[in-house]
Amino acid sequence: MEQGQWRKARRLVREARRVIALTGAGISAESGVPTFRDAGGLWRNYRPEELATPEALARDPRTVLEWYAWRRSALAECRPNEGHRALARFFLRRGEAGLVTQNVDGLHTRAALEEAGEDPPEAALPLELHGAVGRDRCEFCEARWPAEPLGDAIPRCSACGGLRRPDVVLFGETLDAGLLDRARRLAERADLCLVVGTSAVVYPAAALPLATREAGGLIMEVNVRRTALTDVAAAALRGEAGTILPALLDPQPAVKAR
């Protein structure tokens, strides 16, 4: 990336009063988590939009729950990468929350624990718009549990007998209204929306950067390729999140005056 654009991007970050970062599956690609729509994506011969739906879960719970069990086992080997950690450090330094993720892999939370220790300040923690695959919830009541390995029987809620399912938002399900409200307010008040590793096709999350722009803020994109947002971004940094984010966000050592 040429120097001028890089200097402009670093200045935009330095001068931003309020920043929201929206991340997608691309930020976890370097951690070995398969993305949704890239080649070699998530599942051998299904499309996530077909499997990750309440209809599929009702029609064929075993196949859907096996898919999530497979994803959980793949995730067990993954660790946060330098992109997750640079974002955790960035919001820790700024001291105010602004990290919003579409991902359900829990890697932003693990990066915050690695960067800020056992009880990270809220500023370093992500708003997980689509939930977390490391948790189960009951399809009927509010009961939640840490995810457990799938046994032979379809797991049931001990309190009400409802289906125990991953605590994620499936396609066609509504997001938690409170979380979405908080994310929208962060986007509207931000003067910079940093969009990292998302194809920006899934709504309502993909509307957040546009909310920043409509309120007069700027969009800055970090992605290995063009997306639906590239043309409306004030800066589009082409490359891998794990490489770009530390260089973009970490305070650089002051250049020694020669």
Alpha helices in the chain (DSSP H): 3-15, 48-51, 54-59, 61-76, 82-94, 107-116, 177-189, 208-214, 241-249
Which of 25, 20, 27 is closest to 182 using CA atoms?
A: 20
Q: Which residue has the tokens 């929306």?
A: 193
| Complex with ligand BV8: residue 76 or 255, whichever CB lies closer | 76
Residues 29 and 222: beta-carbon distance below 8 Å: no
| Complex with ligand BV8: residue 39 or 258, whichever CB lies closer | 39
Asked whether position 215 contacts Zn ion by CB under 5 A, the answer is no
**Binding partner selected for residue 141 from Zn ion, ligand BV8, none, CB under the kind-specific 5 to 8 Å limit:** Zn ion
**Binding partner selected for residue 164 from ligand BV8, Zn ion, none, CB under the kind-specific 5 to 8 Å limit:** none
Q: How many CB atoms lie within 10 A of CB 70?
A: 14
130 is catalytic: yes
Stretch that binds Zn ion, among 141-149, 164-172, 203-211, 225-233 (CB under 5 A): 141-149
Among 99, 123, 157, 183, binds Zn ion (CB under 5 A): 157
Size of the site for Zn ion (CB under 5 A): 8
**Binding partner selected for residue 28 from Zn ion, ligand BV8, none, CB under the kind-specific 5 to 8 Å limit:** none
The pair of structure tokens assigned to 113 is 């624990």
Residues catalogued as catalytic: 130
